[in-house]
Structure 1
Amino acid sequence: MSEGPQGSAHHAYAHHAAPGESRGRGGWATGGVMFAGVLMMVEGVLGMLQGIAGIAEDDVYGRVGQYVFAFDVSAWGWIHLVLGLLVAVIGAGILSGAEWAKAIGVALAALAVIANFIWLPYQPVWAIVSIAVAVFVIWALCTEDTGPVAPGKR
């Protein structure tokens, strides 16, 4: 630590952005993280509803042909219910600014991509949309840069 010009402690890499200077990647990454949090909450709630429908009625989802990854619809209901609950909670954590929620959000979004790929024969269009949303969430959470910027770098 070194003493700054006004006598206060100042970290060697601390850099305060001047007006018009950006500390991180800018609006796309920051706005993307907020949008990712909202998408996770919405996707989580929809996943919970999808899970409840699968648990309540075994024949609510039809299967498109034969598929290697065949599970009972009730089992899929429980998978979607639990995963949806976790995704919604982590989405709320991301919106509240919790740093731990971002790493868990990436892991859950990756898990959602896998689960929706296996879910393809039951709801192909919705599974593809959910995969696209999860890929965007992973991108948004991985590209945000909020760390300090070394002096002289933008």
Structure 2
Amino acid sequence: MTRTETHDAAQRSGWVGWIYFAGIVLLIGAAIDIIYGLMAIIGPNTAYFVGAQGGVASFNVAGWGWWSLIIGLAMVVLAFFLLTGRTWARILVTIVVAINAVSHVLSLPAQPWWAIIMIALDVLVIYAVTVHGRELRS
């Protein structure tokens, strides 16, 4: 005989769906970070930026690529554990997504629109996980 558990409708809110959305956004963001990381590691190691006054700056993108790859892989693993409702995953997702948002702030001069979109999604993920993450366990 199987036992079916029912949960009070007042106990769960619509934010449970947003937490699933946060997990999917984590997976998509992780895939993009992994692709960017691999492109930076495999591609040319130096990028050149020309400033408004004509100054030239060089930037080693291989280090940034490894950073994106590591953050992306961490986000993949944490997204799967988040979708299972683990409390420790909620805590680590908050930390890793906050670090990811800061890294996108650093990429604002190079990719302003993409960085703003990713920061906004990171903030949405942090809000959904911290405020309504407990509802996912039930």
TM-score (norm 1): 0.71
Gaps of 5+ in 2: 1-6, 53-57
Superposed CA offset, 1:18-73 (max 9, x none): xxx4114x11x11111100110011011100000111112379664748xxx8521
Partner of 2:35: 49
Query: Alignment partner for residue 72 of structure 2, among 72, 75, 84?
Result: 84
SS at match of 2:135: coil
Partner of 2:103: 115
After superposition, the Cα gap between the structure-2 partners of 1:86 and 1:62, relative to the gap in structure 1 and judged at 3 Å, is: farther
| Alignment partners' CA distance in 1, 2:59 and 2:48 | 12
Partner of 2:93: 105
Matches within 5 A, 1:3-152: 17=8, 21-24=9-12, 26-27=13-14, 29-58=15-44, 63=49, 65=51, 71-144=59-132, 145-146=134-135
Gaps of 5+ in 1: 1-15, 148-154
After superposition, the Cα gap between the structure-2 partners of 1:71 and 1:97, relative to the gap in structure 1 and judged at 3 Å, is: farther
TM-score (norm 2): 0.78
Runs of 4+ in 1 over 6 A off after TM superposition: 59-62
| Alignment partners' CA distance in 2, 1:64 and 1:132 | 28
- Greater CA drift, 123-132 or 81-90: 123-132
Alignment coverage as a number of residue pairs: 124
| Alignment partners' CA distance in 1, 2:31 and 2:19 | 18
Q: State the superposition RMSD in angstroms.
A: 2.4
Q: CA deviation at 1:124?
A: 2.0
